[in-house]
Amino acid sequence: MDSMLYNGYQGNDLQGARIATGINALASYDPVSKKKYVGGEVVAFGMGYEHKGFSVAPFILVDSKLPLATKGVLFQVGGKFQYQASLPKGFKSFTILHGIYQHGDTDAIKGNNEAGLFMIDQTFLYKIFNFGLGFYAIPAPNKKGYFWSFNDKTKFYGRGINSIGVPAIYFANATMTGYVFGGMKTKRVRIDAMIAWGDYQEYSLMTNYKIWNYKEMTLDAGIGYVYSYSSKAVSNIGNSSLVLFTKFSY
Q: Which among 192, 194, 196, 193 is positioned nearest to 178, based on CA atoms?
A: 196
Q: Which among 170, 175, 231, 227 is positioned nearest to 203, based on CA atoms?
A: 227
What is the b/e burial string over 168-204, where b = at least 16 CB atoms within 10 angstroms of the residue's CB?
bbbbbbbbebebebbbbbeeeebbbbbebebbbbbbb
Instruction: Evaluate whether 60 touches 44 at the Cβ level (below 8 Å).
Output: yes
Instruction: Evaluate whether 36 touches 21 at the Cβ level (below 8 Å).
Output: no
In order of 18, 35, 81, the CA distances from 38 in angstroms are: 22, 6, 27
* DSSP reduced 3-state for 160: helix
Q: Is 232 left (phi over 0), alpha (psi -120 to 50) or beta?
A: alpha
The pLDDT, as a whole number, for residue 192 is 97
- Ranges under pLDDT 70 in the chain: 1-11, 24-33, 108
- Distance in angstroms (rounded) separating the CA atoms of residues 245 and 250: 17
The pLDDT, as a whole number, for residue 131 is 97
Instruction: Evaluate whether 227 touches 202 at the Cβ level (below 8 Å).
Output: yes
Torsions phi, psi for 23 (to 5 deg): -65, -40
The pLDDT, as a whole number, for residue 25 is 62
pTM over 0.85, yes/no:
yes
Please report which residue ranges of the chain form alpha helices under DSSP H.
Answer: 21-25, 33-37
pLDDT in tens, 56-94: 999 999 999 988 887 789 999 999 999 999 999 999 999
The pLDDT, as a whole number, for residue 1 is 39
The proportion of the chain whose per-residue pLDDT surpasses 70, expressed as a percent, equals 91
* DSSP reduced 3-state for 27: coil
